Amino acid sequence: MTHPGAAHEEASEPHVLVVEDDGETRRLLVRLLRENGLRATGAADGDEMHQALAAATPQLLVLDLMLPRVSGLDLLRELRRDERWAALPIVIVTARGEVGDRTRGLELGADDYVPKPFDRRELLARIGAVLRRTGGAGPACQGRQDTLRGMAARHGAACADLAARGDGGPVRRGVRPADGVPRQPEAGAVARAVAGTRAQPCFHHRD
């Protein structure tokens, strides 16, 4: 079945739709994705998400859970019940990082789950891995794969490892910090995580 907006799929770069109600975080995520070879657009809630899906079919959706009016989990459930979007790759990026939240999101059909605050390197690697696993169809397949291989080459062994495992192996889900304690974001933490090293290379190894 042809999805709405299929005519827009000729571009070689994978298209990622970011559904995030916080304007600063949404803009920073869109910019991060664009700076790393992807097309990215943003939506602030479920209504804007549906408008964006009608206008152009993305190759992946980044979904926050704490959205106004309709929660991200309800949107995820709705998308998975709709045959047009049942196979759309979805990566949850949210401050709700407890085991129960991660388990629920994955059970409802998310392809991966990244808690905030996130490491930019890991987020891009996970998105690249999901795209490698799921983005092999369509007229721009070769161009998309070239883009993803370029991401892996630019961002080092960790990204390349996760992207390679996207060819069929499992994606690491819900990794906790080394101390085992879930991190709770403070105000502006996500913005700092994305923009705090703006003048440095995108992937900065932590000591």
What confidence tier does 146 reach under pLDDT thresholds 50, 70, 90?
low
pLDDT, residue 145, reads 52
Question: Which token pair is 44?
Answer: 């602030």
Residue 124 has pLDDT above 90, yes or no: yes
pLDDT, residue 151, reads 57
Q: What is the distance between the alpha carbons of residues 200 and 194, in angstroms, rounded to a whole number?
A: 12
3.30.465.10, 3.50.50.60, 3.40.50.2300, 3.40.630.30: CATH of 14-168 = 3.40.50.2300
What mean pLDDT, rounded, does the chain reach? 73
Q: What is the pLDDT of residues 155-203, one digit of tens each?
A: 544 444 444 444 433 343 343 444 444 443 333 433 333 333 333 333 3
Q: What is the pLDDT of residues 62-106, one digit of tens each?
A: 999 999 999 999 999 999 999 999 999 999 999 887 888 889 999
Sequence-separated (6 or more) residues with CB below 8 Å from residue 41: 15, 16, 17, 18, 30, 52, 56, 58
For 105-130, what is the mean pLDDT? 94
Q: What is the distance between the alpha carbons of residues 181 and 134, in angstroms, rounded to a whole number?
A: 32
pLDDT, residue 192, reads 39
pLDDT, residue 53, reads 97
Kindly report the pTM of this predicted structure: 0.64
- State the DSSP string of 66-129: --SSS-HHHHHHHHHHSTTTTT--EEEEES--SHHHHHHHHHTT-SEEEESS--HHHHHHHHHH
pLDDT, residue 150, reads 58
